[in-house]
Amino acid sequence: MPTPSLTFRGESMRRIYLDHAAAMPVDPRVLEFAERYLQRDFGNPSSLYSVGLEAKRAIEDARKKVAELINAEKETCIVFTSGATESNNLAIKGTALRNIGKGKKVAASAIEHMSVLNPLKELQKRGFELTNIPVDSTGIVDTEKLNDILTKDTTVTSIMYANNEIGTIEPIKEISEIVHENGLYLHVDATAAAGRIPIDVQNEGIDLLTLSSNDIYGPQGAGALYIKPGVRLQSILPGGGQERGLRSGTENVFAIAGMGEAARIAKAEMVQECKRLKGIRDDLIVEMLKIDESYLTGHPTQRLPHHASFRFSRIEGESILLNMDMMYNIQVSTGSACTSRTLEPSHVLLAIGLKHEEAHGSMVITLGRSNAFEEIPIITKAVKETVQRLRELSPL
């Protein structure tokens, strides 16, 4: 499918999409693999006749592929959901409520996604004690504070593998050791990291891990939760008992089959694609930091290979986003797509110590398979012109 274009001042401009953290296109290979489950093999996986059994086989095949992506002990460790938000809710509320007899304390880093923070706040209303774990100026969890915060009553600690807004990768193995020495279970939201960098749940000591289909070029409407053998959860969506009784409801066979194939492709191509995107990312960072009063946010090296995030003084991130889209047909972000509808500054940027006025001037670029080195001068020119134009208009 050709990339859509628009006409600006008499010239056709090819779209350059740079917000893969918000949504990704379905890989054509994934669509070709999974589309049979929309029309031909559309059966209900709970049915015992041939069409249902074929759908059931597709789900189990996908379960194996997802398990292999993260080196799970076995495919039955994978429970399919409707997406990362449901997986986070199941991991946090399901584990905390099932193990309430062991303690009523929960903890999470201050830069978690809202689909982690809001379920934790809901647990607070049920009598749980929630503690936010601080991070440093690059977004790395303060392990000393983590060690002080956790107790044997802390049933769930949630730390994301990598942050979707600033790209920082957390030292999960070190965090896991602290959690298991002081508390009970470690939940890791790997939505931003899976398929980008290697994840090994066994080696890194992860108890629960959240995955998203669309964040690995699979269909929207599917996600997964890895559950380590022996970890017990309470269902938060009771019904017919699908997915080990933890996630009832007829399975989305098309999306799940697609997620499995997307996981297989990601695993096979990860090393090569990581190297390619890192090269583009590094060149973009060099060029962006040539802009006066521009700053990189997140860790300078310990960050996702496709992720570059910045802040610019004296302008608003929303204005950058809209100007880049309307003037240049380039789509960037100014933070998480799930929180950008508010005019409040990003809680992530505030947590790393930025002032409100500094946090407002953010721009996030997340690269994908469609991006190429030859786009670098187009992107950098557009950003430089955008920043200059907005500063000329700014009362600041």
Q: Could you read off the pLDDT of 110-134 as tens digits, one per residue?
A: 999 999 999 999 999 999 999 999 9
Domain end, chosen from 241, 265, 289, is at 265
Question: Based on the domain organization, do 376 and 337 belong to the same domain?
Answer: yes
pLDDT of residue 52: 86
Q: What is the mean pLDDT of residues 341-369?
A: 90
- The yes-or-no verdict on residue 339 having pLDDT over 70 is no
Domain end, chosen from 265, 286, 303, is at 265
Closest CA to 307 of 382, 371, 224, 356: 371
Q: What is the mean pLDDT of residues 83-87?
A: 98
pLDDT tens-digit series, residues 180-199: 999 999 999 999 999 999 99
Q: What percent of the chain has pLDDT over 90?
A: 87
Count up the domains in the chain and report the number. 2
> Which residue is catalytic, options 268, 286, 338, 393?
338
Going by pLDDT thresholds of 50, 70 and 90, the confidence category of residue 6 is very low
Q: Which pair of structure tokens corresponds to residue 175?
A: 């965090």
Question: Based on the domain organization, do 20 and 38 belong to the same domain?
Answer: no
Q: What is the mean pLDDT of residues 123-149?
A: 97
The enclosing H or E element of 335 equals none
CATH code at 147?
A: 3.40.640.10
- The yes-or-no verdict on residue 7 having pLDDT over 60 is no
Going by pLDDT thresholds of 50, 70 and 90, the confidence category of residue 395 is confident
Q: Check if the beta carbon of residue 30 is closer than 8 Å to that of residue 213.
A: no
Question: Based on the domain organization, do 152 and 77 belong to the same domain?
Answer: yes
Q: Check if the beta carbon of residue 71 is closer than 8 Å to that of residue 204.
A: no
Question: Based on the domain organization, do 162 and 14 belong to the same domain?
Answer: no
Question: Based on the domain organization, do 49 and 91 belong to the same domain?
Answer: yes
C-alpha 227, offset from chain centre: 18
Q: How far apart are CA 75 and CA 261, in angstroms?
A: 15
pLDDT of residue 11: 46
Task: Report which of residues 342 and 146 the model is more confident about.
Answer: 146
Cα dist from 33 to 192, 243, 366, whole Å: 24, 23, 26
One-letter identity of residue 66: V
pTM, entire model? 0.94
Question: Based on the domain organization, do 221 and 139 belong to the same domain?
Answer: yes
For helices 50-70 and 253-288, give the axis angle rounded to 10 degrees. 30
Question: Based on the domain organization, do 247 and 308 belong to the same domain?
Answer: no
Q: Check if the beta carbon of residue 113 is closer than 8 Å to that of residue 83.
A: no
User: Domain range holding 19?
Assistant: 5-26+270-393
Burial class (CB in 10 A: 0-12, 13-18, 19+), 174: middle
Question: Based on the domain organization, do 60 and 153 belong to the same domain?
Answer: yes
- The yes-or-no verdict on residue 241 having pLDDT over 70 is yes
Question: Based on the domain organization, do 253 and 291 belong to the same domain?
Answer: no
Going by pLDDT thresholds of 50, 70 and 90, the confidence category of residue 143 is very high
- The yes-or-no verdict on residue 10 having pLDDT over 50 is no
- The yes-or-no verdict on residue 1 having pLDDT over 60 is no
Question: Based on the domain organization, do 315 and 217 belong to the same domain?
Answer: no
pLDDT tens-digit series, residues 208-225: 999 999 999 999 999 999
pLDDT of residue 396: 64
Instruction: Out of 177-186, 285-294, 299-308, 341-350, pick the least confident.
Output: 341-350
Question: Based on the domain organization, do 103 and 129 belong to the same domain?
Answer: yes
pLDDT tens-digit series, residues 157-168: 999 999 999 999
For the chain, the first-to-last Cα distance in angstroms comes to: 43
Going by pLDDT thresholds of 50, 70 and 90, the confidence category of residue 48 is confident
Question: Based on the domain organization, do 286 and 345 belong to the same domain?
Answer: yes
pLDDT tens-digit series, residues 249-262: 989 999 999 999 99
Domain end, chosen from 265, 292, 307, is at 265
CATH code at 307?
A: 3.90.1150.10
Q: Decide if 274 is catalytic.
A: no
Contacts 24+ apart (CB under 8 A), 344-350: 346/165, 347/110, 347/111, 347/117, 348/111, 348/139, 348/163, 348/165, 348/166, 349/165, 349/166, 349/297, 349/311
pLDDT of residue 341: 58
